[in-house]
Amino acid sequence: MDAYGIGASRIRQPLVLASARPPVPRLATGGASLTSSTPDALWSAPLLRVLRPAAVTCTGLTRGRELNHCSLSVPHGARLLLVSDPDATASTLLRVLAGLSRVERGDIQIAGSSNPSTAGWGRRLAYLGPDPGMHTWMTPHEALQLAAELLDLAPDAAARRIERAIAWARIPSEAASRPMRRGGEPLQQRTGLAAALIGDPEVLLLDEPLRALEERERKRLLKVPGRRRTILLASRYPASEIGLMAHVAYLRAGRVELIASVDALEKAELPLSHRGIAALAEMRAGTVARGAAPA
């Protein structure tokens, strides 16, 4: 399965689409790791480790001052919130994982594959940024049909997937056949999400998505179904993502400094905010410096 790019003359930003796989047990960066709800004893079996590689693994990613030997491993089924200082770092990481930005060095694997071609991870991954990158003279249906064609979907399968995606994104039937410019930014963002879901992505990369929508509807849409689907969400406003992500990763100076459950913030009586996440990172760093295992 492969990633695909949509030509600039029709849609300005590439997308990548996918299938689902079962979860693996650990979310880790450097020496920090968190177990999933799947028993470690089950997933520690050598054969299962081969069959269930991490959904996303990046090692030593370096890009100017934005990424500095950044390493991260995300298990299948994880819902990970990316928060960074500076804010743009998380967005850069997602663009690198999506193949939209290059790094000077480092390795990336998606579902155990380092090959972004058809034989590798391509269609297993989809990216949606703050700007869906679609020309507004297109109708939502035309944009989704183009996405299906670029995935080489059979006509019947394409029709079914387009219908499901439109229903999930709640694009009214009359709006689906009119140019997107008439529906404004909210319609364009709904269409962008629908296009990202056409290929049923195993890994979904979301960078500040759907900000033009009302908060309740935005949260409904971002609770993308599929227990085996892995979602990485970069956000400059962590508090607005409450209830969406189970874990948070904190990047500072181009590196991952913390991975923790959202529950860990609550237990430490810290808010899901930049300040709260940074404070938890400092607490964990202090614990490690004193030689004790972090909670």
Quick: pLDDT tens for 112-161: 778 776 666 777 889 999 887 788 999 999 999 999 998 888 999 999 99
Mean pLDDT for the chain?
Answer: 81
Select 3-288's CATH number: 3.40.50.2300, 3.40.50.300, 2.40.170.20, 3.30.420.40: 3.40.50.300
List pLDDT tens digits, range 261-287: 999 999 999 999 999 999 999 999 887
d(CA 200, CA 264) in angstroms, rounded, equals 31
288 — pLDDT class (breaks 50, 70, 90): low
Report which of 129, 159, 165, 108 is spatially closest to residue 14, judged by C-alpha positions. 129
d(CA 175, CA 14) in angstroms, rounded, equals 23
Q: For the residues 31-59, what does the mean pLDDT come to?
A: 50
Q: Is the peptide bond before 86 cis (omega within 30 degrees of 0)?
A: yes
Question: Global pTM?
Answer: 0.80
Is residue 237 within 8 A of residue 56, CB to CB? The reply is no
d(CA 282, CA 276) in angstroms, rounded, equals 10
Which is more confidently placed, 36 or 150? 150
- State CA 142 to chain mean position distance: 25
